[in-house]
Amino acid sequence: MRLVVARCSVDYTGRLTAHLPLAPRLLIIKADGSVLIHSDGGSYKPLNWMSPPCTLSTTRRGDEEAADDPEGGWFEQWDVVHGKTGDRLRVRLHEVFEDSSHELGVDPGLQKDGVEAHLQALLADNIETLGTGWSLVRREYFTAIGPVDILARDQDGGSVAIEIKRRGEIDGVEQLTRYLELLNRDPLLAPVRGIFAAQAIKPQARVLAGDRGIDCVTLDYDALRGIDDAESRLF
For 176-230, the pLDDT digits (tens) are 999 999 999 999 999 999 999 999 999 999 999 999 999 999 988 778 877 544 4
59, amino acid identity = T
3-state secondary structure 121-184: HHHHHCHHHHCCCCEEEEEEECCCCCCEEEEEECCCCCEEEEEEEEEECHHHHHHHHHHHHHHC
- The DSSP symbol for 211 reads H
Q: Residue 234: its pLDDT value, please?
A: 33
176, amino acid identity = L
- How far is residue 155 from each of residues 82, 147, 163, measured CA to CA in Å? 33, 23, 19
For 102-147, the pLDDT digits (tens) are 998 877 765 555 578 888 889 999 999 899 999 999 999 988 888 9
Q: Residue 116: its pLDDT value, please?
A: 80
Whole-angstrom Cα distance, residue 134 to residue 219?
A: 16
Q: Residue 231: its pLDDT value, please?
A: 44
Average pLDDT over residues 27-41: 92
